Amino acid sequence: MKAFISVDLEGMPYVVIPGHLNLKGTLYEEARKIATKVTIIAAEELHKNGFDEVVVADSHGPMVNIHVDELPEYIDIIRGYPRPLSMVTGSEDCDAALLIGYHAKFGTAKSTFDHTYSGAAIHKLEIDEIEVSEFLLNAYTLGEFNVPVILVAGEAQLLNDDVRRFAPWARTVILKQSLSRIAANSPSMVRIEKELRQNVKKASTVLKQKKAKLLIAQKPVKIAVTFNASHYADVAELLPGARRTDGLRVEYTSKNMKEAYKTFELLAIASSGVSALLMQLT
């Protein structure tokens, strides 16, 4: 069997300040070590439970966060950005998916680094009129590939708000309980390792017993993106077939989630380009 792990950083334990999250951050190296350790724990337990191959998608920021020299031989790692399907690249031929280090959507109270895909540009993302987190965006895409999400580990608000509502069969592991946007209570790594191993084992059993389900978006897929500023919507409106509904909101329709995801990713990258352009005009 082949497993897929998508690894984000904001939902990792102990990661609480902006200095943890970017290449020049004062505590970025600490965050890298944490993410690498948590990922390897999950991969090791998958391997013990019948998964011969594990594909890891390094999925935060520039997507070069995990220390590659520590990975066992049965792991392939996908790194770098931009890339097709962003956080779920490499998942299409896998038997199951784990989402690790995930966080709540933008606007969630007392949740570390709450955002949806692009904190700088995206206020809200809706799929078929449901406001989604990165977890749900990715789970819908994985579902289209016939890949069930069997475990989510991350910030408690995401697990309570989204995972238990939309994917109650998935095992969950709380990596931290947020106290504010930049503060959290995290268990010891000893305890995290114990709980992660136990739940990866249980998740593997859920899959083998065919109790894991797929999250499937209705087709055609209706997407609405609400931006943080109108100049992002100005550019998004240039997308053929897009419809602008107000100063910040742009809608479009795609034939499936793969197409919808790629289009959304393009709009997020375009927003980064707008930001860079505005910096040159100051």
Q: If you search the block for the tokens 């959507």, which residue do you land on?
A: 105
Nearest to 260 by CA among 230, 231, 239: 239
Which residue ranges does the chain devote to CATH 3.30.1360.130?
221-280
User: What are the φ and ψ backbone dihedral angles of 125, each rounded to 5 degrees?
Assistant: -120, 130
User: What are the φ and ψ backbone dihedral angles of 252, each rounded to 5 degrees?
Assistant: -155, 165
Give pLDDT tens digits for 192-219: 999 999 999 999 999 999 999 999 999 9
**According to the model, what pLDDT value does residue 264 have?**
98
| CATH code, 221-280 | 3.30.1360.130
> What integer is the mean pLDDT of 212-240?
97
CA–CA separation, 214 vs 175, rounded Å? 24
| Residues belonging to the chain | 282
Give pLDDT tens digits for 147-185: 999 999 999 999 999 999 999 999 999 999 999 999 999
CA–CA separation, 132 vs 135, rounded Å? 8
> What integer is the mean pLDDT of 24-40?
98
In the chain, the percentage of residues whose pLDDT exceeds 70 is 100
In the chain, the percentage of residues whose pLDDT exceeds 90 is 98
| Alpha-carbon distances, residue 105 vs 36, 118, 122, 209, 233 (angstroms) | 23, 10, 10, 31, 20
pLDDT(23) > 90: yes
Residue 161 · residue 107 · CB < 8 Å = no
Which residue ranges does the chain devote to CATH 3.40.50.10780?
2-116+134-208
Give pLDDT tens digits for 243-271: 999 999 999 999 999 999 999 999 999 99
> What integer is the mean pLDDT of 117-136?
97
CA–CA separation, 88 vs 174, rounded Å? 21
Confirm or reject CATH 3.40.250.10 for domain 2-116+134-208, answering yes or no: no
**According to the model, what pLDDT value does residue 36 have?**
98
**According to the model, what pLDDT value does residue 282 have?**
84
